[in-house]
Amino acid sequence: MADLKRYVVGRDANGKSAVLMDGVPNQQSDPGIMWRGTLWKTREIPVDNNIRGDRSLDGGAARTPFPGGMLVRSLELWPDKDEATMRAHFERVNELSGHTQVATEAEQKRSPSMHRTDTLDFITVLRGEVYLILDEEEILLKPTDSVIIQGTNHGWSNRGTEPVLTIGCMIDALPLAEPT
């Protein structure tokens, strides 16, 4: 599991900037496959910094942000397991998080992790390497590489021997129009 620290800075009772909370309280894991920690979530854009409390806890383990909101998350992926194990993992993730945009059988044959969300995602690799799988190509992402995903099919494959650690922000977005 990633040794991740999170500090939330805001105004204290005297109106001065201060650390209001720390730690990563909203975590989910599937040992040997993945760990993720939600660092912050909002129900609105623009973000209202006047809302108090630990907003990372709002809504539990959702895979995507609230409608009209955003989500910041760190994700650690261990090296891929066999296809049946990976399919079972992603089925559990979809069920637990209420994710409804499940990939077709053909898309899942390309990768059990293939999925789509109605979000704009910005993801940066912090440690390790991971393949970003698209409908017809793959990109090997290494530390400091970033990707912006605009509501399209994608999946992840760690073909190495060490876990990969990423951090990303997902912002609710209008769905892509179907191709004509």
pLDDT at residue 137 in the model: 97
Q: Could you tell me which residues are beta bridge partners of residue 170?
A: 71, 121
Has this prediction a pTM greater than 0.85? yes
- With a cut of 70, which residues of the chain have pLDDT below it? 94, 96-102
pLDDT at residue 174 in the model: 95
Domain spans of the chain, in order of start? 24-172
pLDDT at residue 94 in the model: 67
pLDDT at residue 82 in the model: 85
pLDDT at residue 7 in the model: 97
Q: Is 87 helix (H, G, I), strand (E, B) or coil?
A: helix
The class (CATH top level) of 24-172 is: mainly beta
Digit-coded pLDDT (tens) for 10-30 = 999 999 999 999 999 999 998
Using CA atoms, how far apart are residues 104 and 160, in angstroms rounded to an integer?
Answer: 26
Sheet with 34-42: list strands edge to edge.
26-30, 34-42, 70-77, 164-172, 119-127, 146-150
